[in-house]
């Protein structure tokens, strides 16, 4: 949530954030409902998302933080030495990032010996793919769906936004604690606990689910631009949803959208773009 309004992009921005005045009661209620977070930095408009983002940390700072995480992962996790899988990931990944307009950047890919069908991206264009993913995908188009999704997280600056949301939530909780300490409200300990749940389930988790759906949407755009078949992204998630061994917590308890939500959103977007059942034109 940001305060800047981009409904009229023709108006010059002063670079200031409007001041918002909230009473202690409004602050407590807003945090509990997951509708108010603290703001200590300006908003940035992301054209790929079509919305504002609260960014309290720069991408450069996150890259520095992620370097040690990536280095540690390479040391502690077993890497696959399968030349076919590694070449396949690098080839499809290169086609995707080129279509995303990021082909001039350095990207590093690693395939890890892990049975879980998963992949991840770290700031600084570090992409990890588990060998278990290759048992879930049927073709390069579906691999492109996964790598397009990861590349989309980079374009969307989701890591910086997620980090900022966590910082804002902590600041909001500190402000709520201070506000309640200055009142005669009873059961303050219970109220603080309720506020923590409100921030977690009302702000942070839904925001993460929003990120995943945005990455799905931008990822299929990259697939189409690279000449892959966008509808294969839908087939991939349908295959993942049919995995009998997959544990599925309720959506409101998960940082990811439910399979049903994800599939429905993809179907709607692919239909809107006219990509249902048709191959991309190169």
129 bridge partner residues: 111, 119
Candidates 95, 116, 150, 214; catalytic one? 150
Q: ∠174-38-67 over CA atoms, to 5°?
A: 90
Per-residue pLDDT tens over the stretch 195-247: 344 334 333 344 477 889 999 999 999 999 999 999 999 999 998 888 755 55
Q: Which helix (H) or strand (E) covers residue 129, if one does?
A: strand 126-130
SS3 20: coil
- pLDDT tens profile 96-126: 999 999 999 999 999 999 999 999 988 889 9
Per DSSP, 57 falls in state S
| pTM as predicted | 0.68
Task: Let me know if 150 is a catalytic residue.
Answer: yes
Domain assignments of the chain as residue spans, ordered by start: 20-282
């Amino acid at each position: 949530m940001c305060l800047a309004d981009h409904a009229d992009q023709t108006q010059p921005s002063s670079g200031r954030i409007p001041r918002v005045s909230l009473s202690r009661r409004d602050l407590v209620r807003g945090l509990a409902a997951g509708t108010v977070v603290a703001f200590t930095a300006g908003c940035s408009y992301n054209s790929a998302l079509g919305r504002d983002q609260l960014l309290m940390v720069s991408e450069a700072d996150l890259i520095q933080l992620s370097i040690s995480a990536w280095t540690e992962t390479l040391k502690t996790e077993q890497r696959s030495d399968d030349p076919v899988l590694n070449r396949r990931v690098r080839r499809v990944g290169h086609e995707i990032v080129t279509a995303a307009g990021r082909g001039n950047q350095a990207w590093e890919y690693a395939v890890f010996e892990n049975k879980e069908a998963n992949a991840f991206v770290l700031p600084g264009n570090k992409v990890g793919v588990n060998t278990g993913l290759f048992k879930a995908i049927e073709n390069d188009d579906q691999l492109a769906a996964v790598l397009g999704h990861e590349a989309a997280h980079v374009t969307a600056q989701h890591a910086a936004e997620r980090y900022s949301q966590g910082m804002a939530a902590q600041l909001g909780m500190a402000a709520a604690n201070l506000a309640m300490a200055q009142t005669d409200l009873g059961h303050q300990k219970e109220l603080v606990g309720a506020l923590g749940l409100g921030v977690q389930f009302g702000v942070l988790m839904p925001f993460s689910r929003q990120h995943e759906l945005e990455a799905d949407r931008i990822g299929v755009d990259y697939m189409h631009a690279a000449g892959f078949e966008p509808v294969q992204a839908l087939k991939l998630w349908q295959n993942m949803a049919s995995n009998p061994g997959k544990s599925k917590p309720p959506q409101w308890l998960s940082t990811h959208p439910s399979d049903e939500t994800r599939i429905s959103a993809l179907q709607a977007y692919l239909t809107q773009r006219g990509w249902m059942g048709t191959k991309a034109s190169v």
